[in-house]
């Protein structure tokens, strides 16, 4: 069975102490049956990633950034490049999170360009897609996700999605305590996989589709029973080690 991927997005939270405490516990996590069925990606604020890298020694824990710049070097004050992330051993980069689209005005075209830069650097992009409340009401979920996928496909061709991750994160479910039903998530994940398959049958198997939006220890089991939910992207519930550990325990016991 393919290992489930659990990604923790800490957003603008944490400090040296809380991250060290969290990682010290995560390093010691030992599943009783010894067969861990998940891969974990911790996306701390970028300033703490190097520290985190020096602490982690468990093989199934990786690190992710929450954003990256388009440029590789030069006069771009305040930015971080893919080369810098690679330099400190980061493997994943979240792109196009709805909070970046909303607060930093990132649009589909910019996100598609970043996707290519990340892929070219041999890092793994995690592309966030998903509809807002209004679009959900109007029944436009598939249309919105297709548009967001298309912005990447039309710029770079479908093969760019090989070995990448797509995170379906309905905006209305983020931080709201309102999770999308497992059945509706399954439907849209299947749609995403088939949409890419339509363009690129050979490589569609290599895509991982995650769900994010108020995932916690109480709803993760039902979500992961669905065939096309390959993992979860956890925000709020990943900040508390005990809650996060419960999610890992559940995935390992599936």
Binding site for ligand 13P (CB under 6 A): 9, 97, 169, 174-175, 212-215, 233-237
Among candidate residues 99, 131, 169, 217, the one labeled active-site is 169
| Contact (CB, 8 A) for 252 and 31 | yes
Q: Verify whether residue 189 is a known catalytic residue.
A: no
Long-range contacts of 240-243 (CB under 8 A, 24+ apart): 241/21, 241/22, 241/25, 241/26, 243/216, 243/217
Whose CB is nearest to ligand 13P? 235
Task: Kindly state the smallest distance separating residue 202's Cβ from ligand 13P, in Å.
Answer: 30
- By C-beta, is 68 or 204 nearer to ligand 13P? 68
Task: Kindly state the smallest distance separating residue 237's Cβ from ligand 13P, in Å.
Answer: 6
Give the Cα separation of 145 and 1 in Å (integer). Answer: 27
Tokens matching residue 164: 């990448």
Three-state DSSP class for residue 183: helix
Give the Cα separation of 12 and 47 in Å (integer). Answer: 11
Q: Verify whether residue 97 is a known catalytic residue.
A: yes
Beta bridge partners of 94: 126
- By C-beta, is 188 or 233 nearer to ligand 13P? 233
Task: Kindly state the smallest distance separating residue 187's Cβ from ligand 13P, in Å.
Answer: 20
Give the Cα separation of 52 and 224 in Å (integer). Answer: 28
Task: Kindly state the smallest distance separating residue 7's Cβ from ligand 13P, in Å.
Answer: 8
- By C-beta, is 18 or 203 nearer to ligand 13P? 18
- By C-beta, is 204 or 216 nearer to ligand 13P? 216
Give the Cα separation of 63 and 204 in Å (integer). Answer: 25
User: What residues act catalytically?
Assistant: 97, 169
């Amino acid at each position: 069975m393919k290992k489930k991927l659990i990604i923790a997005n800490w957003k603008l939270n944490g400090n040296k102490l809380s991250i060290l405490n969290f990682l010290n516990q995560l390093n010691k996590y030992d599943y009783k049956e010894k067969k861990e069925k998940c891969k974990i990606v911790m996306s701390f604020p970028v300033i703490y990633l190097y520290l985190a890298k020096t602490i982690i020694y468990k093989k199934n824990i990786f690190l992710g950034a929450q954003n990256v710049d388009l440029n590789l070097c030069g006069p771009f004050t305040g930015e971080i490049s893919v080369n810098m992330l690679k330099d400190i051993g980061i493997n994943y980069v979240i792109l196009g999170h709805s909070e970046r689209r909303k607060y930093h005005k990132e649009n589909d075209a910019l996100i598609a360009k970043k996707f290519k830069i990340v892929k070219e650097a041999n890092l793994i992009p995690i592309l966030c897609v998903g509809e807002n409340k209004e679009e959900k009401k109007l029944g436009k979920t598939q249309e919105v996700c297709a548009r967001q996928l298309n912005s990447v496909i039309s710029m770079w061709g479908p093969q760019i999605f090989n070995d990448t991750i797509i995170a379906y994160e309905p905006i209305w479910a983020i931080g709201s305590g309102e999770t999308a039903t497992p059945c509706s998530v399954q439907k849209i994940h299947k749609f995403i996989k088939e949409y890419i398959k339509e363009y690129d049958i050979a490589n569609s198997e290599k895509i991982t589709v995650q769900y994010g939006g108020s995932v916690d220890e109480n709803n993760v089991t039902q979500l992961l029973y669905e065939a096309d939910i390959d993992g979860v992207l956890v925000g709020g519930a990943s900040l508390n080690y005990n809650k996060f550990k419960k999610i890992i325990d559940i995935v390992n016991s599936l």
